[in-house]
Amino acid sequence: MTLLLEGVRVLEVAEMLFAPAAGAALADWGADVTKIEHPVRGDRARGVMATGVIPMTKANYLWHQANRGKKSVAVDLNTPRGVEIVYRLAESADVFFTNFLTTARRRIGIEYEDIAKVNPKIIYLRMNGYGPRGAESERGGYDYAAFWARAGFAASLGEPGAGPTLQRPGLGDNTGGIVGAGAVAAALFYREKTGQGTLIDMSLLATAMWVNSLDILAAYYSGMTIPRLSRKEMGNPLWNGYQTGDGRWLQLVMLQTDPYWHGFCRALGRPDLEHDPRFDSHQARCDRNRELIDLLDGIFATRPLAEWARALDENECLWTQVQEASELSTDPQVVANQYMVAVDDLKLIASPPQFDGHPATPRSPGPELGQHTEEVLLAAGYNWAQLEELKEAKVII
């Protein structure tokens, strides 16, 4: 595996998922990521599994997914000496990032201006819910709110007339995290050319607008929101989901139907449909969409998914099976491409880019609280006597 960011030092003062997901990706790509945690409770993400939002298991997978490959340093940032430790570590860091709100950053003394004083070339990434300006810049924003609900996803998905669609855990956090890691990589390239540091702002709302850009722009330019559609009313019947005879679902994704219509009819075992005047052109299929959907519902219900898979593939149709999350770990494509990777006795999801044909495999699981405090501070120039004093003062553990 090529460690593109080997030698890059990252200092993370962040909690939960949005910013730590960026740190996890940077660590996968070779960066040395030091995570500052509260010395008593640690990052609150350590206890998320106890909230009932996601299933509790022996492996704290949420923690390891967002914090693999990092070093944990337990420091009390509510003490001046704790902040001094952060400044000492920032002196030799390349990147500093945080998702603390502005009031907290100012109170502690870790604003961009504070960190830039000790390291003018620092790349400083600040991540929050709703952006750095405006009346809601200080508003806390989990991805369920700032990403999912605020940016149109909840209101646009699901069957017509239903209430807001619920978000899956971490969807906005993980999306924003990988974008934040990319922004850091761009800033590192810029500094390599110019010698200048960069202040980067990332928000969940901005991330969501990028992801949901087509819906938002459609509404902006047309004055109309793209409506929720029942699958019985999809304008293009070959861009729709169908239930098979064994209760599974498949998703057709033939946006332009004319090139596929001949093979699709053969796959259905209904060559007579190819020249049926009701459906003999793309426009005809869209004009009589409800009729064709009803017909396809009946056809797909006659055979199990495995048989439809063979027939659709043999006739070069574009489709995929609708899978449960439990099926992904054994999906042949996931296995072949190593999209899940082993870290000690854990299996975690790999960060998306692969360099030189290899997955970016995490080098260690998420750290224990304060696991690397002594190691990191000794490397930063503290001696054992100073560490003992800091421990007695409960600045570190």
Structure-token pair, residue 16: 């939960």
Question: What pLDDT is stored for residue 54 in this prediction?
Answer: 72
Specify which residues 114 forms β-bridges with.
none
Average the pLDDT over 34-61 and give the result. Answer: 85
pLDDT of residue 56 exceeding 80, the answer is no
Angle between helices 204-211 and 171-194 (to 10 degrees): 100
How far are the Cα atoms of 144, 169, 240, 393 from residue 55, in angstroms, in the given order?
Answer: 17, 11, 31, 38
Architecture (CATH level 2) of domain 9-213+367-392:
3-Layer(aba) Sandwich (3.40)
Give the per-residue SS3 of 259-285: HHHHHHHHHHCCHHHCCCCCCCCHHHH
pLDDT on residue 59? 84
pLDDT at position 112 over 90: yes
Report DSSP state, residue 247: S
pLDDT of the residue at 324: 95
Q: Is the pLDDT of residue 229 over 90?
A: no
- Do the Cβ atoms of 18 and 99 come closer than 8 Å? yes
Phi-psi region of 168 (alpha: psi -120 to 50; beta: other; left: phi over 0): beta
If one compares 85 and 53, the residue with the highest pLDDT of the two is: 85
Average pLDDT over residues 89-105: 97
Judged against a pLDDT cut of 90, whether residue 397 lies above it is answered with no
pLDDT > 70? residue 201: yes
pTM of the model: 0.93
Q: 368-391 pLDDT, tens per residue?
A: 999 999 999 999 999 999 999 999
Q: Whats the size of the chain, residue-wise? A: 397
CB 56 within 8 A of CB 81: no
What average pLDDT score do residues 329-338 get? 97
65-89 average pLDDT score:
97
Query: How many Cβ atoms from other residues are within 10 Å of residue 256's Cβ?
Result: 12
Q: Decide: 19 and 103 in contact? Cβ < 8 Å.
A: no
pLDDT at 52 over 70: no
Sign of CA dihedral 128, 133, 139, 142: negative
Q: Where are the domains of the chain?
A: 9-213+367-392, 231-325
Measured CA to CA, the distance from residue 128 to residue 102 in angstroms comes to 9
In the predicted structure, residue 283 carries a pLDDT above the cut 90:
yes
Percentage of residues in the chain having pLDDT higher than 70: 98
* Rounded distance between C-alpha atoms, residue 24 and residue 11, angstroms: 12
Sign of the dihedral defined by the CA atoms of residues 230, 236, 237, 243, in that order = negative
More confident residue, 50 or 14: 14
Contact 388, 33 (CB under 8 A): no
Over the chain, what is the mean pLDDT? 95
**366 half-sphere exposure, CB direction, 13 A CA radius:** 23
CB count within 10 Å of CB 261 equals 21
pLDDT beyond 70 at 162: yes
Mean of pLDDT values over 148-173 = 92
Q: Which among 366, 365, 371, 372 is positioned nearest to 344, based on CA atoms?
A: 365
Sequence-ordered alpha helix ranges (H) in 68-141? 80-91, 102-108, 112-118
Range with the poorest average pLDDT among 45-54, 240-249, 321-330, 350-359: 45-54
CATH superfamily of the 231-325 domain? formyl-coa transferase, domain 3 (3.30.1540.10)
Rounded-to-integer distance, Cα 76 and Cα 88, Å? 14
pLDDT higher than 80, residue 5 = yes
**13, 17, 20, 23: CA torsion to nearest 10:** -160
> What mean pLDDT do residues 288-304 have?
98
What pLDDT does residue 70 have? 98
Task: Please give the full DSSP string across 41-75, using - where no structure is assigned.
Answer: T--GGGGGGGGTSS---SS-HHHHHHHTTEEEEEB
